[in-house]
Structure 1
């Protein structure tokens, strides 16, 4: 390889690094998160998802009692923020942590699973891809221990 070819390869590499924002690792992570946010339909899609979830919860005799005396508008807002932030969107979750929010509610594993079913139904109804569903559920699953049995 001559000096001209080597120089061209380095120039192409430099242009590539500049084009992706000086940080290939950070850009790749941000892109992965952005794609989940986008796959959920952005902020509007996430708000629709949470709305569908709350309709499903209201119809589910197994868990609706947990939501009877709450501010549904605030719940919608906080769940939307939380999912948006987890999915890599431009939102910041401003609600209480999961332990504080669920202490005294007596949420059981069955209750938690019923809520997940409601979320999955909402995602199916909104034609969210299985891949995006699985990615979102993987981000939410670690909250189980912070919610159940409090």
Structure 2
């Protein structure tokens, strides 16, 4: 039930980016915590038959580093985003809502494994929700 609620949060979020919240970065364990979450999510994806195929030809180390950087920026950490836009990165991939939701579920599972409290998970998901439109059906 909680997963449905969290996915619903992602699907209904507004397109404007929320203000920076340094406490979210700290609540997630700063750089080390974000790295553990991203690595856990990537391990979950590797076992997820729904979406693992989308990552077959991806440099996982580079992806990990870019995802950690992205989360650092989105959570108010001291990082700066570099590289192509979300639209450009996902252009031509034709990712569906189901693909997006599967990745969110893998992220939630990684945060649960790391012991991230649900309110903190929800704050992160709210920050990431506006990216949905930049990722799916591109």
Q: What interval of TM-score do these two structures reach, taking the shorter chain for normalisation? A: 0.7 to 0.9
Show structure 2 runs of 5+ residues with no match. Answer: 1-18
Aligned to 1:120: 108
For residues 46-72 of structure 1, give each alpha carbon's deviation from its aligned partner in whole angstroms, at most 9, with x where no partner exists: 011100000001100000011010110
**Residue aligning to 1:12:** none
Cα deviation for residue 89 of structure 1 reads: 0.5
* SS of residue in 1 equivalent to 2:66: helix
Which whole-Å CA distance do the structure 2 matches of 1:72 and 1:99 have between them? 19
Secondary structure of 1:69's match?
coil
| Residue 43 of structure 1, aligned match among 11, 22, 31 | 31
1:74 offset after TM fit, Å? 0.5
1:98 matched to 2:86: yes
Q: Does 1:71 align with 2:48?
A: no
Aligned-residue Cα RMSD (Å) equals 1.0
Residue in structure 1 matched with residue 14 of structure 2 by the alignment: none
Question: Between Structure 1 and Structure 2, which shows a larger proportion of helix residues?
Answer: 1
Higher relative contact order (CA 8 A, sep 6+): 2
In 1, Cα distance between the equivalents of 2:74 and 2:111?
Answer: 16
What is the Cα deviation at residue 115 of structure 1? 0.2
Larger radius of gyration: 1
